[in-house]
Structure 1
Amino acid sequence: MRVVIARCSVDYEGRLTAHLPLATRLLMVKADGSVLVHSDGGSYKPLNWMAPPCTMAELEPEDDERAEGVQAVWRVQHAKSEDHLRVRLHEVLHDSSHELGIDPGLVKDGVEAHLQKLLAQHITTLGDGYTLVRREYLTAIGPVDILCKDAAGACVAVEIKRRGEIDGVEQLTRYLELMNRDPHLTAAGPVTGVFAAQQIKPQARTLATDRGIRCVTLDYDALRGIDDADTRLF
């Protein structure tokens, strides 16, 4: 990655035109070819950018640009359109390049895979007498997150989300329709559904209830044993 701090102006031309007047900014040229223009505010979002595929050429300034104090020009051209950036550098305060290597990606805590594992370990969170059959129970239309049995021995399909929305309810509904055609799963009664999430939107809860699907709000910290909702003072 190349990191440049410079007094510069930036012009974008393509589907629209945009101009950033002369100011001190951070310019980032990434290994994937993208070029981003940042200010010291506005959080993470760049003021302007060019996403790959694109190419960058460093040019000598034209006479009128040189007369205005421009020392160098970057022209960033998108490979699949006429969109381009013209960055006019008036003064370079910092210019360095760094090899960052391959990034392993963001590892999130509390993602659905973690919730599934924890709920499988503490399946009685769903009710007394519940027992785990297996995680990732395969069906013809995809895997059900958890298949378990209730105290009466009837099968229960559990769909787990971090944020429970209508799409998740629809997904579980499709699983239930298919699983209830399997006599091996319905030997002790119809397969019922549990929609489990850390947060469940009201619309999803309403739809689930209307379809006979039970909603369970999961407390991630409690499942991990960090927090106990029953002994919490407030």
Structure 2
Amino acid sequence: MGKIITFEKPSIEEVKELFKMAEKHGGVVTVFARCKVYYEGRAKSELGEGDRIIIVKPDGTFLVHQNKKREPVNWQPPGSIVSIEGNSIISIRRRPREKLEVELIDVYAVVVFLAEDYKELALTGSEAEMAKLIFENPEVIEEGFKPMFREKPIKHGIVDIMGVDKNGNIVILELKRRKADLHAVSQLKRYVDALKEEYGERVRGILVAPSLTEGAKKLLEKEGLEFRKLEPPKDKKKKNEKQRTLDFFNP
């Protein structure tokens, strides 16, 4: 069996077999098809007929791309359950309950890539480094802030940092290493609402990022959430290595 298996104009039965193969061997499936897309969860949406690229990864990630823009038009996160029912590829996210259905009208090709990749991306200026900076210097958030937990599991996800302010209020920090958008605000609000069920109104939510989109700023204000501007830390090791190289060539 090779690394890449390609079928052009497969039947729906062949599509099912390819998905089974990918599931068994941990492959990535890419489907090129004319389709309709339906979403049902925190809201409802429908995307009419068109040519799309559907990507399904071994961890349950499910992406639907159009022929424009960088971001998928619809997606489901890792941990979602993917199946094929009739002529549709269906992805179910359990908590919160979300369903994404792609109705296949005409399948042009299916590619299964049996990828092997065991390396982790080492990011400079990552959210992990932002968290480390905040624990070492909590005053970058505000005076009197005390971070207590990092990656704290709660009812609807995992909070980046959870702590208390000088008045004893619970403070949730959602960290973003790039410009924060509406999705980041919605994520923070879910966490705040979940903890308010346990702690009442003494819960604050703060989005921490280098900048905000205009839409995110308006939604933060509407929901009574806060923002702190914080740039991800730079990689001092690389900076020092670069300086030593300059010194070597400039004695």
TM-score normalised by L of structure 1: 0.48
TM-score normalised by L of structure 2: 0.45
Structure with bigger gyration radius: 1
Higher relative contact order (CA 8 A, sep 6+): 2
